[in-house]
Amino acid sequence: MEPSQIPPRLALKGVTKRYPAVVANDNIELTVMPGEIHAILGENGAGKSTLMKIIYGVTRPDAGTIHWNGKEVHIANPAAARELGIGMVFQHFSLFDTLTVAENIALGLPGKHRLADLEERIEQKAAQYGLHLEPQRHVHTLSVGECQRVEIVRALLGEPQLLILDEPTSVLTPQAVQSLFQTLRQLADEGCSILYISHKLDEIRQLCQRCTVMRGGRVTGVCDPRQETDASLSRMMIGSEPPSVQHDDRPAGNVVLAVRGLTLARAHPFATALENISFNMHEGEILGVAGVSGNGQQELLAALAGEDRRVPSGAVLFEGKPVGHTSAAWRRARGLGFVPEERLGRGAVPDLSLAQNMLLSHQNAQTLRRGFIRRPVLRSLAGGIIDRFRVRAQGPQAAASSLSGGNLQKYIIGREVTRQPRVLLVAQPTWGVDVGAAAQIRSELLALRDAGCSVLVISEELDELFEISDRLIVMAKGRVSPAVPTRQASLDMIGRWMSGLWDEGNDHAHA
C-alpha cells in the first residue's frame, strides 16, 4: 500500500466533552499515523487528560467520532481499548496498594497468567527499558516514581499498537531518559504509534515528529516541533513566553535545620535504609536533593517532617535543639512546612473541598475558635490562593479531586507558601506542571528563600535543581553525597553521583 493510502492509526473528528461548568474538549481533531511519535502539548487544564481518557475508554465523548486503523470504533471501556491495542500510562496511577507489582500488572493484562512466569517477563521487559522493578514488592512500599515504572512496564507488556505516555521521564536520570527515547524510537520503527504528553519542551523537540497544541479545550495548532524553539512552542501553548526565574546569589544565614549521622533501618522489607546522613539547611537558602526515585528520598522526608517516630532525638536539630523525637504536628506548629510528592490522598483529601483542605496545614487561631472551624475564613484563604497562583478551579468549594494534577500542585504549594514557614520541605514541586506554572512555583520558592526561609527541594528535574538551588546534594541507595555549590556542579557530575559514585576522586569530598 502506498504511504498516502495507509489509514491513520488513530483519527478523532469533532470530539467534544462537556461538564456542567466547563467544555473540557471542544470539537477536537487529531490524527496519529502508524509509527509516529506525536506530542500533545498544553498548559494544565487545557483538556489533554480528558482527551486521553476518551481515547482509552475511561470517558465517553458527547459528540464526535473515533477511527482506529481506518474504521469507526466506540471504545466502551479500558478493556476494549486494550483489546484494540491501546496502552496508557496515567499521570495519576491506577494501582492497588495492597497488591504486589506483578499482581497489579496481571490485572491489566488479558487472560490468565502464572505469577512466576509473569514476574520473569516483568523483569525482562523492565531490564530492556532500563527501568528497575522488583515484581514481588507491594505497591504501598513504592515511591511515586517507582509506581510510574510499574505503569510503563504494564503498558508495554500488552504489546500496544498505540502507547499513550503522560510525563514518562520524570522518574529517570538524564542518562536513562536517552535510553527510554531510544526504546520509544525502536517501538515507533516497529510500527507502534506513541502519544507523548510532556511539559518538557526540549524533550518534545528532540523526540516527536508532530505536535498538537491545546489551549482551553481546543486545538490551537499542529506543528513539527523539530522546526520550533522552546519559546515558539511556549507561545503556542500559553500565549506568551514563560516568565524568567531570577536566581540571585546571596550569602546564606544561620543553620536552621541540621541532620547529624541519621541512620534508620528499613521500616518495611522494601523500604530504603538510611545510612549516616548529615547535612545543614541554612536561612535564606535552597538546598536541592537530586536522585532517582526510590533511593531513600521518601524515608528522609518522613524523618525530617516528623512522620517517622523512630528517629533518634539528636539526629535532627531545629535551631540547635534536638527534635528527632518530636511529632509532625509539633514541627508544623513551630514553622515547618511540608509538600509531599503524592498530591491526591496525601497532599490533599480528594473528596474534601479546597477550603476544607486548608485545615491540613492551617490549624491556628485564625481558622479555629474555641474548637469550632471558621468556614468563612477557610473559604477566604482558599480563594486567595486560587487567585494568587492562578489555580483553575470552580472556586474554594471545588473538590480537590476535580482539579488537574498541575492545578492541584499549584494549590498545595500555595497553601504551604502562605503559611510563611521557617523551613519548607518540598518533594517534586513541578512534576506534571506546565512551563508557565512551573516558573511561577519556582519563583515563589525563591521568594520564600529571599524572605529568610530555609527550603529543601527534592526533585528529579535536574534542570529545575540547577535553576533554583544554592547548593546540591545527591541521594543514592540511602546515602547522601557531600554538598556542592550549584555553580560548581555539572549535569554529568550529578548524573554520576546519582549512581552513588561521589567518593571516586571528586573534588568536593569536604564541601
pLDDT digits (tens, 9 = 90+) for 84-100: 999 988 766 778 989 99
Residue 101 phi/psi, 5° resolution? Answer: -55, -50
pLDDT digits (tens, 9 = 90+) for 214-238: 988 999 999 999 999 988 888 888 7
Residue 166 has which C-alpha cell?
503522560
Please report which confidence band the pLDDT of residue 507 belongs to, taking 50, 70 and 90 as the band edges: very low
Burial of 371 (0-12, 13-18, 19+ CB in 10 A): exposed
Distance CA 48, CA 52 (A): 6
Q: What mean pLDDT, rounded, does the chain reach?
A: 89
- Judge contact between 255 and 285, C-beta under 8 A: no
Q: Tell me whether residue 508 is in a domain.
A: no
User: Same structural domain for residues 286 and 157?
Assistant: no
DSSP 91: S
pLDDT given for residue 315 in this prediction: 97
511 located within any domain: no
Beta-strand runs (E) in 274-378: 274-282, 285-290, 316-318, 321-322, 336-339, 368-369, 372-373
- Helical segments of 281-327, H only: 297-305
Query: What nine digits make up the cell of 252?
Result: 546564606
pLDDT band at 342 (very low <50, low <70, confident <90, very high): confident
* Residue 313 domain-assigned (yes or no): yes
In this prediction, residues 137-155 reach a mean pLDDT of 84
- DSSP annotation of 198: -
Among 238, 265, 290, identify where a domain stops: 238
Residue 220, Cβ neighbours under 10 Å: how many? 15
Mean pLDDT value of segment 117-122? 94
Q: 523492565: which residue's cell?
A: 126
Q: 161 and 48, same structural domain? A: yes
What are the pLDDT digits (tens) for 314-334?
Answer: 999 999 999 999 999 999 999
Residue 167 falls inside a structural domain: yes
Whether 357 maps to a domain, the answer reads no
Q: Can you say whether residue 171 is alpha, beta or left, with left for phi > 0 and alpha for psi between -120 and 50 degrees?
A: alpha
The residue out of 238, 267, 284 marking a domain boundary is 238
Max CA-CA distance within the chain?
77
**Residue 231 shares a structural domain with residue 259:** no
Q: pLDDT per residue over 353-402, tens digit each?
A: 999 999 998 888 888 888 899 999 999 999 999 999 989 888 999 999 98
Q: Is residue 205 part of a domain?
A: yes
Q: How many domains does the chain have?
A: 2
The mean per-residue pLDDT over the stretch 335-352 comes to: 90
Phi-psi label, residue 3: left if phi above 0, alpha if psi -120 to 50, beta otherwise:
alpha
pLDDT at 79 over 60: yes
Instruction: Indicate whether 115 and 142 sit together in one domain.
Output: yes
User: Tell me, what's the pLDDT at 170?
Assistant: 61
Residue 396 in domain: no
Where among 178, 212, 238 does a domain terminate?
A: 238
| Across 485-504, average pLDDT | 87
Q: Quick one: what percent of the chain has pLDDT higher than 90?
A: 61
Question: Which tens digits make up the pLDDT trace of 152-187?
Answer: 898 889 889 999 998 777 656 666 677 778 888 988
Residue 492 has, within 13 A of its CA and on its CB side, a CA count of: 1
Domain ranges, residue 27? 3-238
> Do residue 221 and residue 324 come from a single domain?
no
Co-location of 139 and 98 in the same domain: yes
Query: Contacts for 397-402 with beta carbons within 8 Å, 24 or more apart?
Result: 397/353, 397/354, 397/355, 398/353, 398/354, 399/350, 399/351, 399/352, 399/353, 399/354, 400/344, 400/348, 400/349, 400/350, 400/351, 400/352, 400/353, 400/354, 400/357, 401/344, 401/350, 401/351
Say if residues 235 and 42 touch (Cβ distance below 8 Å). no
Q: Is the domain of 147 the same as that of 294?
A: no
Burial 246-268 (b: 16+ CB within 10 A, else e): ebeeeebeebbbbbbebebeeee
CATH number at residue 288: 3.40.50.300
Question: Are 221 and 259 contained in the same domain?
Answer: no
Residues 182 and 324 in one domain: no
Q: What is the DSSP letter of 501?
A: -
Residues 163 and 267 grouped into a single domain: no
What pLDDT, on the 0 to 100 scale, is given for residue 132?
80
CB 84 within 8 A of CB 73: yes
CB of 299 within 8 A of CB of 291? no
Q: Check whether residue 137 and residue 212 sit in a common domain.
A: yes
Same domain, 232 and 268: no
In a domain, 395, yes or no: no
Q: What is the pLDDT of residue 2?
A: 55
